[in-house]
Amino acid sequence: MIKVLTVAEMTVREILRRRAVLVIILMLPLAFYLSRRGDHLGQSIRFVCLGLGWALSTAALFSGSAARGLEPRLRLSGYGTGHLYAGRLAALWTLGLVLSAPYFLLIRVDADRVEHGAIALIMLLTVAVAAPFGLVLSVLVPRELEGTLLLLTVVGLQMMMDPAGSAARLLPFWFSREIATYAVDHTDGGYLARGLTHGTVCALALTVLAMTLASIRLRRRPHLRPVT
């Protein structure tokens, strides 16, 4: 447990020291929110949730990429892959919740005709999905730049694609629009149920995928035989 906590602590410290990145990540959802605040509050709420997802994925991507050089040697220094992965993910999830809290309060104060419980659910699922999503990207792409571009593409698609089309469901933050529709337009519970299912499946799948990729990357190679 000490190992997981130590990794989590150092992950948070690292992210907090990237001042510029931190400011952008903190402000971006706000910019999204304000962009449609005047004419369409519902759209504003959808955008802020997507903004949160993008911000946390980016933080996770940067964190995962930065750890590439360090993790193999930590693996040799007594850490299991699980310690490293759990610590990093826990830190990112915590960060995501902290990041979401002020935006939830904002919506709570600013918009009174929406289902606040559902908004909280979107944010929870967004945090749950975004952190492993960024970590998966950090393993799959060689550098932060490529990862950032990919994230932009995903969020861009998410905003433009018709949510009713089946292809849109392949995007990791599709649930966000579904539940938001329920929360803002007070539609039937089907939206909520579909969104909840999609979000949960995405969160689980990405968490498992990120874990698997980490285990492969940090695996013990069979040619190395410890002798006792």
Partner 1 sequence: MNTDAWLHALDGELRRRGIDPALARHVVAEAAVHLRDSRQAPLAAFGPPDAYAAAVAESVGSPVRSAPHRRSAPGPVRLEARGIVKRHRRRTVLSGVDLTVRAGEIAAVVGANGCGKSTLLRICAGLESPDRGEVRLRGTLGFCPQDGGTSDFLVPDEHFALVGAGRGMRRGAAVRAGRAYAAALDWDPAGAGQARFLSGGTRQKLNLVMAGLGDPDVLLLDEPYQGFDRGSYVDFWRQLWAWRDAGKTIVVVTHLLDQLDRVDTVLDLTPARTTEARA
Give the binding site for partner 1 (CB under 8 A): 2-3, 6-7, 10, 13-14, 17-18, 66-70, 72-74, 76-79, 83, 220-228
* Shortest Å distance, C-beta 176 to partner 1: 30
Smallest separation (angstroms) from partner 1 to the CB of 77: 4
Q: Which residue has the tokens 């990729």?
A: 213
As given in the structure block, the two tokens for residue 36 are 């449609």
Residue number with CB closer to partner 1 (10 or 124)? 10
> Closer to partner 1 at the Cβ: 72 or 190?
72
Residue with Cβ nearer partner 1 (80 or 163)? 80
Handedness of CA 19, 156, 105, 9 (dihedral sign): negative
Tell me the closest approach of the beta carbon of residue 9 to partner 1, in angstroms. 9
Query: With the CA atoms of 122, 123, 126 and 132 taken in that order, what torsion angle do they form, in degrees rounded to the nearest 10?
Result: -140
CA distances from 154 to 53, 60, 69, 161, 190 (A): 11, 15, 27, 10, 25
Nearer to partner 1, 84 or 154 (CB): 84
Asked if 72 and 206 touch (Cβ cutoff 8 Å), the reply is no
Q: How far is the CB of 211 from partner 1 (least distance, A)?
A: 19
